[in-house]
Amino acid sequence: MSQATSVSLIEETEGGQPRTVGALLAIRELILEGVLAPGARISELSVAARTGISRTPIRAALQRLQDEGLVETIPSGGFAVKSFSQQDVFDAIEIRGTLEGLAARLAAERGSAARLGPLQACLQELDSLVEASIETEDGFSGYVTANARLHALIVDLAESPTLKRQIDRAVSLPFASPSGFVMAQAIMPESHRILLVAQDQHRCVVEAIANREGGRAQAIMQEHARLAGRNLRLALGNRKALERVLGGALIRTVK
């Protein structure tokens, strides 16, 4: 993120809370892009100089990032960028899958048939993208956008603000999100086969929701999340692929 961009963000906001959000976005980007390395102590002065944001919102943002799990306190005071073991990532994916599985079940049990239109339209969009044999980065970017929308629509159909908050928290770690490893697939030879499996699972979970088969919808959604674990294993064996995972630099690899 350029200093001009950060300053522009601050100039467009007023009051403490928006400034804290601006600081949060700026620091998160520095972490996820690997500018702030795992284990490194975060200097408020250095971040302020780099982003043009004052230290007060930076300090508040670091507290928020600790809640998200991207930074941790250190004995000498202040915060350091957190790193993650491979097991941490697998656990985060499993937690997200469990929560999304519950969302799919509630969507089947509570969702109105009249609200299924956007979900089915999104499914058709994903069908078109996959059938076109995604080969370009733009194609994968389009898939990421539509995939995120389909998952969000399922959560909305669950009609549970409490559950939505927990899912938002679970996916605050980018590699735990539904699209966490999609861009890595763009350069892995197994990518199209995995996308076909993922899309079939999308189709099956939408069908289960439409037919009000709550248990089936839950099971499919949980299994669907585990595809991210498969992608993680592939990415860990392909350095270039792991570099395309947002926050991939935070994952400790076994040497």
CATH code of the domain covering residue 106: 1.20.120.530
Q: What is the pLDDT of residue 135?
A: 61
Question: Do 70 and 90 have their domain in common?
Answer: no
Question: Do 37 and 95 have their domain in common?
Answer: no
Question: Do 162 and 197 have their domain in common?
Answer: yes
| Vertex 172 angle, CA 140 and 249, to 5° | 65
Range 147-156 average pLDDT: 96
Q: What is the pLDDT of residue 138?
A: 67
Residues of the chain above pLDDT 90, percent: 47
Residue 74 has pLDDT above 60, yes or no: yes
Question: Of 26, 55, 81, which marks where a domain is finished?
Answer: 81
Question: Do 103 and 199 have their domain in common?
Answer: yes
Question: Do 155 and 219 have their domain in common?
Answer: yes
Tokens of 110: 């509570």
Residue 58 has pLDDT above 90, yes or no: yes
| Vertex 98 angle, CA 242 and 137, to 5° | 30
Question: Per the structure, how many domains does the chain have?
Answer: 2
Rounded Cα gap, residues 12 and 18, in angstroms: 9
Q: What is the pLDDT of residue 11?
A: 38
Question: Do 75 and 198 have their domain in common?
Answer: no
Rounded Cα gap, residues 252 and 249, in angstroms: 8
Rounded Cα gap, residues 169 and 166, in angstroms: 5
The rounded mean pLDDT for the chain is: 85
Range 198-208 average pLDDT: 97
Distance set, CA 142 to CA 128, 147, 156 (Å)? 11, 8, 21
In a domain, 255, yes or no: no
167 in Cβ contact with 100 (< 8 Å) = yes
Question: Do 165 and 53 have their domain in common?
Answer: no
Range 51-68 average pLDDT: 90
Residue 254 has pLDDT above 70, yes or no: no
Which helix (H) or strand (E) element contains residue 80?
strand 79-81
Question: Of 63, 81, 99, which marks where a domain is finished?
Answer: 81
Domain of 122, in residue numbers: 86-250
Residue 111 has pLDDT above 70, yes or no: yes
Question: Do 114 and 77 have their domain in common?
Answer: no
In a domain, 206, yes or no: yes
Backbone angles phi and psi of 238, in degrees to 5? -140, 100
In a domain, 161, yes or no: yes
Question: Do 120 and 241 have their domain in common?
Answer: yes
R_g (Cα) of the chain, nearest Å: 19
Residue 1 has pLDDT above 60, yes or no: no
Residue 26 has pLDDT above 80, yes or no: yes
Rounded Cα gap, residues 67 and 94, in angstroms: 19
Question: Do 59 and 119 have their domain in common?
Answer: no
Question: Do 43 and 90 have their domain in common?
Answer: no
Exposed, middle or buried, 158 (CB in 10 Å: 0-12/13-18/19+)? buried
Question: Of 57, 81, 105, which marks where a domain is finished?
Answer: 81
In a domain, 50, yes or no: yes
Confidence of residue 166 (pLDDT cuts 50, 70, 90): very high
Tokens of 236: 């860990």
Question: Do 62 and 30 have their domain in common?
Answer: yes
